Amino acid sequence: MPWEVIGNVLLEATISEALKGGYKLFQDHVQPWITAKLAGAYAERYLLLTSPQLCDFYYAETPLSYTFGRSQYRLPMSLLIAPTTDGPATEEKIRIKTTTIPFTVPQRISIYTTPLLEYLRTGKDSRLFDGQVVSLRSVSKNEVGEWELMVATGSYFEGLATNLAMDHRPRNLTQSLRMFISGENGQLGNIAKSPLVNHMGVICMVESQDGMLVVQERSANVANRPNTLSSSVSGALDWSDVCSQSEWAIEGLSMGILRESFEELGVKPENVWFLGLVREYLRGGKPEVYFYAKSDCTFYEIEAKRKTAKDRKE
pLDDT over 90, % of the chain? 41
Q: Worst-scoring range by mean pLDDT, 36-45, 160-169, 189-198, 291-300? A: 36-45
**Rounded mean pLDDT, 93-107:** 91
Residue-wise pLDDT for 108-145, tens only, equals 999 999 999 998 988 877 778 888 999 999 999 988 88
**Rounded mean pLDDT, 27-37:** 44
Look at 16 and 63; give whichever has higher pLDDT: 63
pLDDT-based confidence at residue 213 (cuts at 50, 70, 90): confident
Q: What is the pLDDT of residue 174?
A: 93
Look at 243 and 157; give whichever has higher pLDDT: 157
Q: Worst-scoring range by mean pLDDT, 15-29, 55-69, 217-231? A: 15-29
**Rounded mean pLDDT, 21-49:** 58
**Rounded mean pLDDT, 248-255:** 70
Residue-wise pLDDT for 143-182, tens only, equals 888 899 999 999 999 999 999 999 999 988 999 999 999 9
What's the whole-model pTM score?
Answer: 0.79
Q: What is the pLDDT of residue 166?
A: 97
Q: Could you please report the per-residue DSSP string of the chain? A: --HHHHHHHHHHS-HHHHTT-HHHHIIIIIHHHHHHHHHH-SHHHH----HHHHHHHTTTS--EEEEETTEEEEESEEEEE--S-SS-GGG--EEEEE-SS-----GGGHHHHHHHHHHHTTT-STT----EEEEEEEEEE-TTS-EEEEEEEEEHHHHHHTGGGTT---TT-SS-HHHHHHTTT-----GGG--S--B-EEEEEEEPTTS-B--EE--TTSSSSTT-EE-SEEEEPBGGGTTT-SEEEGGGHHHHHHHHHHHHHS---SEEEEEEEEEETTTTSEEEEEEEEE-SS-HHHHHHHHTT-TTTT-
CB contact at 8 A, 226 and 218: yes
Q: How far apart are CA 289 and CA 280, in angstroms?
A: 10
Q: What is the pLDDT of residue 34?
A: 42
Q: What is the pLDDT of residue 285?
A: 97
Q: What is the pLDDT of residue 35?
A: 43
Say whether pLDDT at 220 is over 90: no
Average predicted confidence (pLDDT) for the chain: 80
